[in-house]
Structure 1
């Protein structure tokens, strides 16, 4: 089989079970593609020995008739997931040299289901960024290209998005705190789902903002997302926020039938200055779902305008608390100390050297909003706004809306370096359509629907009811079928 690395997870699974393909051949094809794609800077810690060992074990399981859906499927793991015996740096200098002696719950479950780890993927440092430019490894590069510029694959899961779009792996893990799965998926013409908060365990995933972080899959199709999410999800007693709920067969729920379903179009997402292409794509998506039998309903989410300010108080506050543990004492980077330096100087120098500028900015904001005299004015007020945002969604779903359709991003992928010197708030605006979903703990998915006039992919976002990822995936499947998006980046790397 030529170029097996270009198969979807579903196609590869079926070929493996029929005996048309072995996991070893599939893994070797991916490893070769990775070696040829150094220009994309997607994989930052390669694990070919582990991959081949897991592939041989997967072939044995398949021959024995004991093959879950992910068995033999080569995937990439975002560098935020702790992987036993493999560097796990969260793309930060401060975790240089950290090799965890334990496995995150999500990766353990993937490996138990037979998935093959090709290596660790690039990302924004501590998942703080929307362009993968805050990484200690340097930026990941979008495989899509329309001129001389190198484009961002989005962030923070930029390496995951680039690797899936460039056929380096069949799927990848991502994490989403304010849009870090859905925005990169939209920028690279791939599918990314953020499940309901608590659906996937956070144990063993380096924390950014604990009340917002959620792991999810990044794949080439909605069906693949359903298959991979099924392997990642499940209750974990080691994570107190993990939901003790059964994991349905998400793939079996993909009928494509959305007749009679009510799809909400929130008027507050029509932002001033929204590009005409995004507006037209959104309208096209609504028309496609209407043609598939869904009812399109105008809805209001009145507190949407407060979402970004609330997010950029809550997320940095939680980051400030979570990142306090990186002090140079136990593991990772430690600054060289001068004569007379004590423990305080060691903390200060280590953190100043170890954290990049964006992480420093967010830690300082977070520390400020949590400080005496400002806690009520900022942090407590943001928490109240968050409750109002969640209530908006609860009300809409109580009124019978089954899913909500919005743009995924305010633009297509932009050039690397184009926004670095701008006001940081300009970069934060990339999350304008996605952060509400994290604040409310809801599931959201980005589906590629078309190309802009330059020829770059654009995605639409569907937001679902809590714990109803199966229905959400089915709405996304109907949208995917109607859009028929099949464009791929031209290989230049």
Structure 2
């Protein structure tokens, strides 16, 4: 079999079980593709020795007949996950040289299942960004191009390296994290599938924190079946994470029947934004028709507090970030600034943080500190928390009325060029999260499925939002949508 790196998880798993290929061959194919793809800047810490060692162990395990589904499958790990003995920098200068002495729960679960780690993936610094332009490693680049245009495009953010690597077949799948859309938006931009599970479904232990009440890990894969396979391995209760849910993890793959007859799919009127491109509007309408043709009932719904979601999110997330990032002070780990004679501890904190954090992280820490300060706590932070509760209640009301899933666009546009969104107006960048942040604020599962191409040949995604803890049902609806959309486009290789 040639081009083994182009396989998906399910295809590769089945080929491994049949003895048509072994994990070492699969891994070597991916390592070769990674070495040829430096132009994408997706992998920022390569770990070929670890990969081949795990691949050999996986082959032995498969021969022994006790191998779980992920055994022997080569994947990439976002740089936000702590990996023992391997740089885990959260794409920040302040964590330069940090090699954890422990493994995050999610990456440990994948390793225990026999998955092969190929290396660490690029991302926005501390997961703050929608375009992967805030990374200390430089921009991650999308494998997609606009027509015959050579302009470099964003793979989305913050899980930009993960999206780029999966779309370019550098790995079979990758881990991502999603605080306000950081799995679903890059998945939509690069024509892959990404699911953010219910808050508490995957452990956050050992994942560098951005906003603790919003962060959630999830898989980024080539299709819905692969997402179901990988998600099952990533989920599960973890006593080390107090927000981890003590719930059994179902066999998500077994729930993919494609039968959605009688399911109620809600279309929220508030997501019809002013200035939404006609292509996004049409894709959304086409998606609803596809689900209807598959036997679902399409109903109009209202989520009245949606218009307050973005401002509420950009109060709550920076507030939690300012608290979480206070630990990076040059004392215990990571970077410490060079001090002048006579500098004390205050100067050390100031210089270290000024040098170590990029502009976007500094901006969010300052916003967060401001909204948490004594004079503004009630005016901003508490008000945003109340809005969050109202947003959550909107979804609860809709689900209580019998709606099974909600269909929306994943992003307000296709991928844009690197450098096209100027630093001068960060709000333009924040508007990329307009369709995704509500899902994090309400703690719900959401999945992005590639559903079409725009007129320039770039992928567009649709988002499905599900009931809490019902990822299996949500993935089955996504599977029906994927089958109907029939998206098979791949980027032409230029790198």
Please, what TM-score do these two structures have when normalized by structure 2? 0.99
Counterpart selection for 2:250 from 244, 248, 251? 248
Aligned positions of 1:21-420 closer than 5 A: 21-146=21-146, 147-420=149-422
Q: Which residue is 2:461 aligned to? A: 459
| Inter-partner Cα distance in structure 1 for 2:150 and 2:138 | 19
| Inter-partner Cα distance in structure 1 for 2:19 and 2:340 | 63
| Inter-partner Cα distance in structure 1 for 2:261 and 2:237 | 32
Secondary structure at the aligned position of 1:28 is classed as: helix
Q: Over aligned residue pairs, what C-alpha RMSD do you find?
A: 0.4
**1:277-329 deviations in whole A, cap 9, x for unaligned?**
00000000000000000000000000000000000000000000000000000
Secondary structure at the aligned position of 1:338 is classed as: coil
| Inter-partner Cα distance in structure 1 for 2:338 and 2:20 | 56
Secondary structure at the aligned position of 2:382 is classed as: helix
Q: CA deviation at 1:422?
A: 4.1
Q: Which residue is 2:482 aligned to? A: 480
| Inter-partner Cα distance in structure 2 for 1:162 and 1:300 | 35
| Inter-partner Cα distance in structure 2 for 1:66 and 1:24 | 18
Secondary structure at the aligned position of 1:306 is classed as: helix
Q: CA deviation at 1:148?
A: 1.7
Secondary structure at the aligned position of 1:145 is classed as: coil
Secondary structure at the aligned position of 2:219 is classed as: strand
Q: Which residue is 1:8 aligned to? A: 8
Counterpart selection for 1:423 from 417, 422, 425? 425
Q: Which moved more, 1:451-460 or 1:416-425?
A: 416-425
Secondary structure at the aligned position of 2:218 is classed as: strand
Secondary structure at the aligned position of 2:77 is classed as: strand
| Inter-partner Cα distance in structure 1 for 2:141 and 2:4 | 23
| Inter-partner Cα distance in structure 1 for 2:424 and 2:273 | 20
| Inter-partner Cα distance in structure 1 for 2:217 and 2:262 | 31
Secondary structure at the aligned position of 1:461 is classed as: strand
**1:35-73 deviations in whole A, cap 9, x for unaligned?**
000000000000000000000000000000011000000
| Inter-partner Cα distance in structure 2 for 1:273 and 1:420 | 19
- Corresponding pairs, count: 493
